[in-house]
Amino acid sequence: MRNGSGPESLVLSDRFEVNVPGPIFTDTRLSSSSPYLPSGLILSSPALRKLVASCAGRMEMDLDSLGKFGLPWQYSRPQKSEITNHKSNRTAKLPSRSTMEKYARAWCSSIHFLVFPVISLDLFQRTLDLVYGSRDVKDYTGSASAKAALYAFLSIITIIEFTKEDAPHGPSCEFYAAKAQSYLVDIIQESTMEGLQALTTLILATIFSGDYKKAAMFVTMASRIAYALGGHKNPFESQHGESSAYNTSRPECHIRNLFWLCYTFDKELALRTGQPPSISDDNCDLTLPPGYIELQNSNICCPDVVIDNTTVPLYPWDPRLSVIKSRTYKLLYSESAMRKSKSEILQHIRELDDALEQWRLSLSREFRPTLTFSEDTLFPSALATQPIMLRLAYHHCVIIIHSASNRCRELSVGDLGMQEIGVASSLGLSVEASRSSLLYLQAALPNIAGECFWVILFYVVSSIVTILGHMISNPNDSKSASDLKLLMQVSDLVQSFPITELSAAELIQMQLVKDFSRELASITEMATSDRGLPTSESDI
């Protein structure tokens, strides 16, 4: 056992000089922009500087280079130029009604619709009527929101390249999103289903573009409209207790779908940005659509599933997992959670871990995540994007939940008590989940849709930062060499993302993440090699 004297105790003491909640998001109470390690270290903090220098046996080590690697989702990118700089303002006009109908049919018959039911094919006709005109429409109130909904829809199908055949050189996703945003005042004033649809689609577009700050703002606006329209209530139960069938041609059913999208995005963004969620679970009926679990197990891996108005969506990730994310933020990372005792935090970690395990076991064996993933684990080559994303989300939840145990570590390094052993075990689970996430991503990358780039990028950065924190804190770990090798492979992993086209800003951010991972690996390699620790498998 270690004792409390010597340089190691100084290192462990420094490790707690800065104690912040959460795995990687920015906590504005402590830092306006710096990402930080799950062990509570801001990447450019004096604590980390001292720690790495001590680990490496050096008094001086330049970590300033890490300060320039701001996380791409921390900044909102201005989009006004997308309108003014587009080579032809005539392209600001919406496509013909028949073209929009074709896009809607294509979307509603694709797997994208099952995951992101942002439109209803039947109700979309009313949206078109409000914009293009119809003899059947007597009141055009809400036409501005309807136009915003069409522009927002164009932004998302442009990302997924539904428009490439008709307009290969047409406006960008950012251009259409900016056009939709120009109607925000109208959307708020009108508070219609079309406005909720526009905001929900904009959330999806901005998440796919990596602009999490703006997405969080849209979630806040969308959630208020969803409340006003009754989306937080269960539309499948009548006043007499009889269940009604799922059918997106019913406005209340479509509004409920939009609510579930807002809910899942809200809970995900809370863990990614560190900001409190906008939707309170206590004020919502979180009953899933009839038959959701059974249909998820049968549809998620079925490429030939028949999709119509009665097909229950999969939704992003899984609403049940989103409920666990919501509880995770509330119990471990909210303002009130910061005032909880160590025993309370550990109790919540156990509860959340049990809930996560129950969710995992509820999934079909065909796509159920295993607890860990290694280089020797077989990967089904035909697996689609949705079950892959579900597994990555599972590993990330493990990281998020168990990283909170850092707040329960003791500053002393004497004999470990039962609580400290439990904390060490919990932290070990977060590190193992990070390894599994990166190794799984290496195997699954060819099967992932290109539009998931920014969603995946977050998992990558979260995992490498978690592994880095573990390596620096535990330089004698037997897996240090394999962890270092894994970190060195990350830049190649990012480079191989299956993306057909990136904007200049996205290319810059991709390069920053690649450089970031290389810098982390380089620093860690110096920290281990200078202390005579193994840096290759042959040295172990």
Q: Are residues 341 and 397 in the same domain?
A: yes
Q: Are residues 372 and 462 in the same domain?
A: yes
54 within a domain of the structure (yes/no): no
Phi/psi region, residue 275 (left: phi>0; alpha: psi -120 to 50; beta: rest), is: beta
Sequence-ordered list of residues with C-beta below 8 angstroms from that of 160, at least 6 positions apart, any chain: 112, 449, 451
CA gap 156, 173 in Å, rounded: 7
Q: Are residues 228 and 324 in the same domain?
A: no
Predicted pLDDT at 519: 66
15 within a domain of the structure (yes/no): no
Q: How far does the chain reach from its first CA to its final CA, in angstroms?
A: 22
13 within a domain of the structure (yes/no): no
Q: Are residues 352 and 493 in the same domain?
A: yes
Q: Are residues 294 and 325 in the same domain?
A: no
Range of the domain at 121: 80-299
CB 247 within 8 A of CB 309: yes
pTM comes to: 0.83
* Domain stops at, among 265, 299, 333: 299
CA gap 167, 165 in Å, rounded: 6
Predicted pLDDT at 101: 96
Q: Are residues 395 and 266 in the same domain?
A: no
**DSSP, residue by residue, 29-96:** TT-SS--B-TTS-BTTSHHHHHHHHHHHT-S----HHHHT---GGGSPPP-HHHHHSSS-GGGGSPPP
Predicted pLDDT at 8: 33
499 within a domain of the structure (yes/no): yes
Helix axes 251-273, 319-328, angle to 10 degrees: 40
38 within a domain of the structure (yes/no): no
Q: Are residues 346 and 458 in the same domain?
A: yes
Q: Are residues 284 and 324 in the same domain?
A: no
33 within a domain of the structure (yes/no): no
Q: Are residues 112 and 234 in the same domain?
A: yes
Q: Which helix (H) or strand (E) holds 421?
A: helix 418-444
Q: Are residues 532 and 387 in the same domain?
A: yes
226 within a domain of the structure (yes/no): yes
* Domain stops at, among 272, 299, 326: 299
- Buried b or exposed e, range 174-191, using 16+ CB within 10 angstroms: bbbbbbbbebbebbeebb
**DSSP, residue by residue, 228-239:** HTTTTS-TTB-T
Q: Specify the amino acid at residue 36.
A: Y
pLDDT in tens, the chain (540 residues): 333 333 333 233 333 222 233 444 433 333 333 333 433 344 444 444 444 444 434 334 344 444 444 444 454 555 444 444 444 443 468 999 999 999 999 999 988 999 999 999 999 999 999 999 888 877 788 899 999 999 999 999 998 876 666 655 678 888 999 999 999 999 999 999 999 999 999 999 999 888 888 999 999 999 999 999 999 999 987 655 556 789 999 999 999 999 999 999 999 999 988 889 999 999 999 999 998 998 888 888 777 788 889 999 999 999 999 999 999 999 999 999 989 999 999 999 999 999 999 999 999 888 899 998 887 777 776 678 888 999 999 999 999 999 998 888 765 455 556 667 778 888 899 999 999 999 999 888 888 887 888 888 888 888 888 888 788 777 778 888 888 888 878 777 777 776 656 666 566 666 666 676 666 666 656 655 655 544 444 443
347 within a domain of the structure (yes/no): yes
Q: Are residues 234 and 174 in the same domain?
A: yes
Q: How many domains does the chain have?
A: 2
Q: Are residues 333 and 237 in the same domain?
A: no
